[in-house]
Amino acid sequence: MAFIRTSKRSTPYEDQKPGTSGLRKKVTVFKQPCYVENFVQATFDALGEKVKGLIIVVSGDGRYFSKDAIQIIIKIAAANGIKEVWIGQNGLLSTPAVSAIIRNRVGPHGEKARGAFILTASHNPGGPQEDFGIKYNTENGGPALESLTEKIFSITKTITKYHIADGINDVDISKCGTHSFTGPDGPFNVVVFDATEDYVKLMKSIFDFGAIKNLLSRPEFSFCFDALHGVSGIYAQKIFVEELSANPHFLVNCVPKEDFGGGHPDPNLTYAKELVHRMGLGKMVPTEKIPEFGAAADGDADRNMILGNRFFVTPSDSVAIIAANAVGAIPYFKTGLKGVARSMPTSAALDVVAKALKLKLFEVPTGWKFFGNLMDAGMCSICGEESFGTGSDHIREKDGIWAVLAWLSILAHKNRGVPRGGKLVTVQDIVRQHWSTFGRHFYTRYDYENVDAGAARNLMAHLVNLQSSLSDINSMIKEAKLNVARVIRGDEFEYKDPIDGSVSKHQGIRFLFEDGSRLVFRPSGTGSEGATIRLYIEQYQSDPSKIGVESQVALAPLVEFALKLSKLEAFTGRASPTVIT
């Protein structure tokens, strides 16, 4: 079918600044006239002449408005000289799968995709009144770097027209197949394919599926995976049930829904309610037997949460434990790790492992893109963040299902000598063993969501001021007889990328204590309404007799001090956080 290119007049929007993970707004905002068109055109303009003849991927977590956005992007791509658009069946592809596709999928003539529009607002709710998002990833499979997103933003502020194909009707994305068109730049194809095949192939090349299958076949082992109605459900079905023969009963909420079933697709103890209940961590005692292992992923399947029977594994511990066990348990890492990395607010549990294994450790600002540069340079194999992101250099995004397979691999490895029917080494055993070897980093995060933006700014300014009065802070600790160590440093985290030399400033305010404890304050970069303040609290304990204490109990004095120091309630009017993880 033939189409022509038409240029349509448009007026700019002022608010199309992509955040840490793309442009994220309410659906009602995206539905404004030309809102999507402007942003997509600005992205092509920012990429410049090199978009001509490229293949791009377009898909996402299936949230409300995705299907409309896909049809718009197809037509704008065609009019901008893109040669082919690759789409997962029904417009579904997880964020990690998109990254894998950019890096590995090869078209019939040997070409690869050079970029992707990922349609997701990650862990934010979906639906007509909720969030939507568009994120652009580049040829290494990772999120666009700030230089590109800044360029896109500046173009959105002055854009006056966009190009769109006239003559392409809505493409049926519910069936696999190729739709061919001809336009002013030559042939243009829309290729719809199975959303799971590339990703499953990659996972099979990383993990020992035989060993995991063996674990899952043990009658004494059971697990539960909660997709929170996000896109991970289709990968869970394929990998856990079809490839690894798990009991389908192990999967909950694995049918993707446009509104995530009305829930909040964020895998944490507050929002993954059903999983938390089944794993015996809820208010009610579950009626069914509690599984040995539980996991959840967020809307676009890049985040994960790992649980044991009545046991929560903090994301900071999770990455440290994966790093400590990777070489023996995961074939992909059998020749050793190149280095490890964590974001600044993530606990130092990984640092202790890195030291013991003589690995280089990188501390980067919050945001997965910072890991990408290290991985491209061959300096980092495994990385993770406190915000439930864990991953490796197999792709350039964090990867929820990968993290679950990593834990299943560790469980399989630790249980390889245990006879069938014998007492299994559990998630809890693995974590406790890790703490007794490396010490424990008690850790908690308090989130104050949707705080007034002005109040949040004042709070941060107050904290910056405090950095120059450490002696006052220490007198305050003494006077109030607070059971915490002395503060020895207060600063704002700044990072110089070792590869491109770029400097990222104002990445969070830190108070560092003599005993290694840390308090970190940071405004969230991913919210879509008001401001969210995050307070991260960490304390190291190497005495094996003290590592078993409940974390909120162990951290209570530091929490009390943090709230006093920051005057958080006075600034924000909030007596307690909205979410504690």
**Residue 122 designated active-site:** yes
Name the binder of 298 from Zn ion, ligand G6P, none, CB < 5-8 A by kind.
Zn ion
Q: Which is nearer to ligand G6P, 20 or 99 (CB)?
A: 20
- Region of 305-313, 420-428, 476-484, 523-531 interacting with ligand G6P (CB under 6 A): 523-531
- Region of 289-297, 298-306, 552-560, 571-579 interacting with Zn ion (CB under 5 A): 298-306
The answer to whether residue 397 forms part of the interface with Zn ion (CB under 5 A) is no
Give the separation between CA 364 and CA 371, rounded to whole angstroms.
7
The answer to whether residue 300 forms part of the interface with Zn ion (CB under 5 A) is yes
Burial 105-131 (b: 16+ CB within 10 A, else e): beeeeeebbbbbbbbbbbbbbbbeebb
Residues within window 530-559 making contact with ligand G6P, judged by CB under 6 A: 534
Give the separation between CA 416 and CA 420, rounded to whole angstroms.
10
Q: Which is nearer to ligand G6P, 414 or 534 (CB)?
A: 534
What is the DSSP code (8-state) at residue 61? S
Name the binder of 524 from Zn ion, ligand G6P, none, CB < 5-8 A by kind.
ligand G6P
Size of the site for Zn ion (CB under 5 A): 5
Q: Using CB under 5 A, which of 71, 89, 122, 325 touches Zn ion?
A: 122
Q: Parallel, antiparallel, or unpaired: how do β-strands 311-313 and 293-297 relate?
A: unpaired
Residues within window 315-344 making contact with ligand G6P, judged by CB under 6 A: 343
Give the separation between CA 109 and CA 118, rounded to whole angstroms.
24
Q: Parallel, antiparallel, or unpaired: how do β-strands 84-88 and 23-26 relate?
A: unpaired
SS3 304: strand
Helix count and strand count (H, E) for the chain: 18, 26
Q: Using CB under 6 A, which of 3, 13, 18, 21 touches ligand G6P?
A: 21
The answer to whether residue 387 forms part of the interface with ligand G6P (CB under 6 A) is yes
- Region of 129-137, 279-287, 348-356, 364-372 interacting with ligand G6P (CB under 6 A): 364-372
The angle that helices 400-414 and 315-329 make with each other, rounded to 10 degrees, is 60
Q: Which is nearer to ligand G6P, 80 or 122 (CB)?
A: 122
CB 286 within 8 A of CB 317: no
Q: How many CB atoms lie within 10 A of CB 343?
A: 25
Q: Which is nearer to ligand G6P, 263 or 367 (CB)?
A: 367
| Catalytic pick among 21, 66, 99, 122 | 122
Q: Which is nearer to Zn ion, 24 or 413 (CB)?
A: 24
214: buried, middle or exposed (CB in 10 Å: 19+, 13-18, 0-12)?
middle
Q: Which is nearer to ligand G6P, 366 or 415 (CB)?
A: 366
Q: How far is the CB of 268 from ligand G6P (least distance, A)?
A: 12
The answer to whether residue 122 forms part of the interface with ligand G6P (CB under 6 A) is yes
Q: Which is nearer to ligand G6P, 120 or 325 (CB)?
A: 120
Give the separation between CA 389 and CA 396, rounded to whole angstroms.
12
335: buried, middle or exposed (CB in 10 Å: 19+, 13-18, 0-12)?
exposed
Alpha helices in 168-271 (DSSP H): 197-206, 209-216, 232-236
Residue spans of beta strands (DSSP E) within 211-262: 223-226, 251-252
One-letter amino acid at 418 equals V
Q: How far is the CB of 416 from Zn ion (least distance, A)?
A: 33
The two structure tokens encoding residue 270 = 């507050």
Interaction pattern, residues 465-504, with ligand G6P; x per rule: CB under 6 A: ----------------------------------------
Q: Using CB under 5 A, which of 84, 298, 386, 399 touches Zn ion?
A: 298
Q: Which is nearer to Zn ion, 183 or 384 (CB)?
A: 384
The two structure tokens encoding residue 577 = 């956080």
Name the binder of 223 from Zn ion, ligand G6P, none, CB < 5-8 A by kind.
none
* Among 67, 100, 70, CA closest to 401: 100
Give the separation between CA 392 and CA 402, rounded to whole angstroms.
9
Name the binder of 80 from Zn ion, ligand G6P, none, CB < 5-8 A by kind.
none
The answer to whether residue 20 forms part of the interface with ligand G6P (CB under 6 A) is yes
Q: What is the dihedral of CA 256, 402, 522, 342, to 10 degrees?
A: -170
Radius of gyration over every alpha carbon of the chain, rounded to an integer in angstroms: 24
* Among 299, 300, 297, CA closest to 407: 297
The answer to whether residue 308 forms part of the interface with ligand G6P (CB under 6 A) is no
Cβ-closest position to Zn ion: 122
Name the binder of 534 from Zn ion, ligand G6P, none, CB < 5-8 A by kind.
ligand G6P
Binding site for Zn ion (CB under 5 A): 122, 298, 300, 302-303
Active centre residues (catalytic): 122
Binding site for ligand G6P (CB under 6 A): 20-21, 122, 343, 366-368, 385, 387, 389, 524-526, 534
